[in-house]
Structure formats: structure tokens, C-alpha cells
A and B are shown apart, each in its own frame.
Chain A
Amino acid sequence: MSELSTIISRNIAALLDRSALNGQPINLDADLLGHYGLTSLNMVLLITSVCEDTETELTKITEEDLSRLHTARDIVALVQSIRNRRASA
């Protein structure tokens, strides 16, 4: 698992009850709403803490970006695309 995936998985796990995970690792392709039951508030807190932990500027992420994040892998892709844009700027 990449460093980004690890950070994002850790932040998702922090929002869940231990019993919800049942000892399993976070599935990067599971639906965050449907499978893990994250609410809209959870999603905002999740992305905010991911931005902090990955040193990603919060101002780069819009409501439209948020609406397209359905899985942990989507979040990995978003953070990676922001990093790539920063590197090429």
C-alpha cells in the first residue's frame, strides 16, 4: 500500500467504530457512504484531516470535487492530482 493510501486509510478508520472494521483493513474500493456509512459531515472532516496529514492545500478542493469522492481510492487520486499540479506549476 502506498504512503498516501496508508494515511487515508488511517483517517477513515479513525472515523469508524472498531466493530465496524472487524479487524479488516480498509477496502480502498468500498463505497464510503454505502459500505462504511460515512455521513456528509464525516466526509468533510475526513478530507480536512487528510489535507492536514498530507500537507495538501484545502483551498484546492471544491464542493464538486467532494461530490465525486466515493471511495478511498478516489481520495488517493484527488490528492495525487493536486500534488502533480503543484509539481508542474
Chain B
Amino acid sequence: MTAITSLQLAGEPFSIGRMHGEALGEEIRRFLDDDLCRLNRLLPKPTSLADLKDTVARHREVIARDTPDLFAEIRGLAAGAGIDLDAALLLQLRREVMGYSRIPTGGDCTTLCRPLPPGGRVLAQTIDLNGNLDDQMVVMEITHSVTGSRVLVLSFTGLLGYLGLNGYGVGIGINLVLGGPWQPGVPPYLAIRHLLDRCADVESCLACLGGLQLASSRSLTICDAKQAVSVELLHGRMAVIRNEQLVHTNHFLFEDFAAEDGLNPFSHNSSVLRLQACRDRLGRLPQRAGPDDVMNIFCHEPIRVKGNGDCRRERTVGAVVMLPGQGRMHVRRGDPALSATQTFQLHA
């Protein structure tokens, strides 16, 4: 498989977006033309940008209000790629447009975080998605000229955030959890980018998250040099789980949220199995395990989710091992058991 596309972007928000759009314009337009960023291969009924106009507008209002810098970057992306603003926004809202029902959404991804002697932490996860998105993976290194903040983000074509780390040593991973009404708001992928752009530690991430109107439920795993948390987000509510070692899959762990879990019982069983398997393997890792040892956890079923040829089913399209304190990200694109590691470094 070819190397993962990587970009280095710098400047003010609109300029960063425009550079991004200019660099990947052809890929962005091709992805949009591909069954409307593959949405029409996944949705029960086909849709169009025209059909989604009102939905996009309702999300746009909140994104512009709560994350104005990212909204400027999205405008820049549209200008650079030569696409409508609504198309650029759709690239941020793909998961919200897919929505969820108890059936048939699976919901995969396994995330772990643990201390890494002699100091710091490792934050790592599988990326389990439908739509065969491995070929759309992008890594972006972003330097903000106004604040000086630096961010290393793994994402997908035209999407401004997904998971990553920043120059302050903060790392953020993500798991889908299903619950509550999904509503116009900031997609959690953008929320992660918003936190990485401005937050120097876990506590400021939590404070910042509390001020956002999020579009959908998620669990985020956030770490800095001193602590790590899983934060479950469910329709305006937040539950924080603090521990030295954390594992999260796709069901709610906080008891009060578990009662509202929208995962179907069989996907819930799969999620529980992956959680237990990851805890077991993590428990057997030596104290001084390196990134390859952690990556190896993701190479075994049930944590590694193999595809069955149906692009509507989630499968493991990548795996990431982040060392936020060192500004380093190790990535395997595609099935982690079959692909090689590429390493990305946040430059000083």
C-alpha cells in the first residue's frame, strides 16, 4: 500500500483551510463525487447535497458559533478545493448524516491508554469504520501562526479532525458510543481538533468540552503527562472516568449512561468481548513495552475486526499508537496485522 498522505499546514485558520483545499482538491472532489462521499453506499435511501441543505445549515450555525476558527478553516477548505461551503461542511458531518438506529449500527474501535515509563503515556487505538475508508486516511501537521500551537492529527479526506496530539503533550482518541438524540451541533471530530488547537492539559480539555454543543454521542480518551481520562458524552451530559490505565470500546461504562445505550445487544456483546480482550492483553504487557508491543495488541481478534466484503459493516481500517509527550504518532493503514508502520513526528 502507498504511503499515507501527509500535509504540513501553517498560518491563520482560513489560510490553513485554503492550503489544505489546494493540496488535496482533486482527492476531495473525487471523494465527494464517489456516491456523495460513499454515504449513498451506506444509507438505506440515497441522498444528495440538495436534500441535506437544511441539515447542513442547522449544523453550520452551531459550528460557526462554538468553533469560529474551525468554521473559518472550513471556508478556506472550500475556497482552496473549489467546492461549495455546504460540501466542505458535509465532509465534517458525514457521521452525523449516517445517524444511528439500534439496528444495524455496529460501532467498533478499541482504545487504550497507560503510563509509559520513565515518564509520559501511550494512547493507542484501532480505527473501525464502514465505507472502506482506509484509502482516505490523511495525517496533518498544523502550526497556528497566531497562537503558536502545533497539532498532529490523523483524519480522512476533507475532515479537519479525528484523533491526534499537540505540542503541549495532550493526546486524544475517540470511540463511537450510541445514545441520546443526535442534534445540530459540533461534530465530535471537530471538537477534538478544537481541543488540540487550544488546550494544554486534560483539565482545560474538559472545561472546553463543557462549553460545546455537540452533535452526537462519543467517548473521548484524553491524556497529558500527569493524568488520563475517558469522558463519555451523551446529549449535553459528560461522565469522566479517571484511572492510570484506561480501555474503552463502544458501550457506555458509566452506569447512568449504560441504561440509555443504543447499541443492539449483539454489537454490545462484541464490544464487551473486545474490552475484555484488550484489558487482558494490556495486563500482560511488560512495564517497558514499546510502541510495537502496543500495536501488536491490535493485530489479534476480536480487537482486530476483519471485514467480510460488505462495505456497510465496520472493520479495522487502521491502528494508531501515540506518544503525546514525544509528539510522535505510529500509524498502520488498513488491517494492522497485514500493514507496515509509518511514523509521524510533530516538529519543534
Contact = CB atoms under 8 A, between A and B. Distances in A.
A joins B in a complex: yes
Interface of A: 39-41, 44, 47-48, 58-67
Contacts, number: 38
Nearest to A45: B103
Contacts of A67: 308, 310, 313
Interface in B265-282: 265-267, 269-270, 272-273
A47 B265 CA distance: 10
A63 B103 contact: no
A66 B302 CA distance: 15
B106 interface: yes
Interface in B253-272: 264-267, 269-270, 272
B104 interface: yes
Interface of B: 102-104, 106, 264-267, 269-270, 272-273, 302, 308, 310, 313
A44 B302 CA distance: 21
A28 to B, nearest CB: 22
Nearest to B106: A63
A47 B266 contact: yes
B270 A63 contact: yes
A61 B269 contact: yes
Identify the 9 closest CB pairs spanning chains A and B, nearest first. A40-B104, A62-B270, A63-B270, A63-B267, A41-B103, A40-B103, A66-B266, A62-B269, A63-B266
A62 B266 contact: yes
B103 A65 contact: no
A47 B103 CA distance: 13
Contacts of A60: 269
Nearest to A51: B265
Contacts of A39: 103
17 contacts: A40-B103, A40-B104, A41-B103, A44-B102, A44-B103, A44-B266, A47-B266, A48-B265, A58-B269, A59-B272, A61-B269, A62-B266, A63-B269, A64-B302, A65-B266, A67-B310, A67-B313
